[in-house]
A and B are shown apart, each in its own frame.
Chain A
């Protein structure tokens, strides 16, 4: 079955630096990859969606890449701020059992140190 993997270890970076989070998937290439932000005790909030035929997507300080050869998506936050501290979830969307299915990773906790 399809799996999606995120680094379960927390990522600590200095304010102002670029944070890079990794999402790897196995088997088939998903049609879409999505990235969400989740703060403690709250529901996830959508950030970016990238399609299989897109290599890169940007939104303000955020950038997502999709490498179907490496079976990997990278999520970048440039000029990171303490307010960016949160857990970031990667989700893949692909066909399974005849319909579209979204599967989330376990998330990577980002801590931006002032």
Chain B
């Protein structure tokens, strides 16, 4: 069964350093999502791609976060510089289309900023 791949699974970084996360969605899925999840909370959407285009990045802290999906397949989320408050689980998900379809989530990247 196809799965969403994410790497790394765990990342520890110091404050003010740069960090990057990678996601490979299920083949053929046009929509890709990056979420941040703080312990005890639901996933919060950071950015949504439709193919290679960003359709929603309203909750992305653009002064330090960036995301790209250059060829409409895999995607990278970057934080520079990292802050203590960025410690969270970062989840990637994909779906066949933006509406009416379930999302398939990857295992997530647990980020700890020290």
Chain A interface residues (CB < 8 Å from chain B): 6, 31-32, 34, 36, 41-46, 49, 51, 89, 91, 93, 97, 99-107
Contacts of B103 in A (CB 8 A): 34, 44, 46, 102
Interface of chain A, main secondary structure: strand
Measured between C-beta atoms, what is the minimum distance from A4 to chain B in Å?
A: 8
Chain B interface residues (CB < 8 Å from chain A): 4, 33, 35, 40-45, 48, 55-56, 58, 91, 93, 98-108, 110
Select which of A41, A46, A106 is within 8 A of B42 by beta carbon: A106
Q: How far is the CA of A102 from the CA of B102 in the complex (A)?
A: 10
Q: Are A93 and B99 in contact (CB under 8 A)?
A: yes
Q: How far is the CA of A31 from the CA of B100 in the complex (A)?
A: 8
Select which of B40, B44, B58, B105 is within 8 A of A45 by beta carbon: B105
Q: Are B93 and A97 in contact (CB under 8 A)?
A: no
A-B CB pair tally, cutoff 8 Å: 61
Interface of chain B, main secondary structure: loop
Select which of A43, A89, A99, A103 is within 8 A of B93 by beta carbon: A43
- Closest 7 interchain pairs by CB? A43-B105, A104-B42, A46-B102, A100-B99, A106-B42, A100-B98, A104-B43
Q: How far is the CA of A46 from the CA of B48 in the complex (A)?
A: 18
* CB-nearest residue of chain B to A93: B99
Q: Are B42 and A105 in contact (CB under 8 A)?
A: yes
Contacts of A97 in B (CB 8 A): 56, 58
Q: How far is the CA of A42 from the CA of B48 in the complex (A)?
A: 20
Select which of B45, B101, B102 is within 8 A of A103 by beta carbon: B45
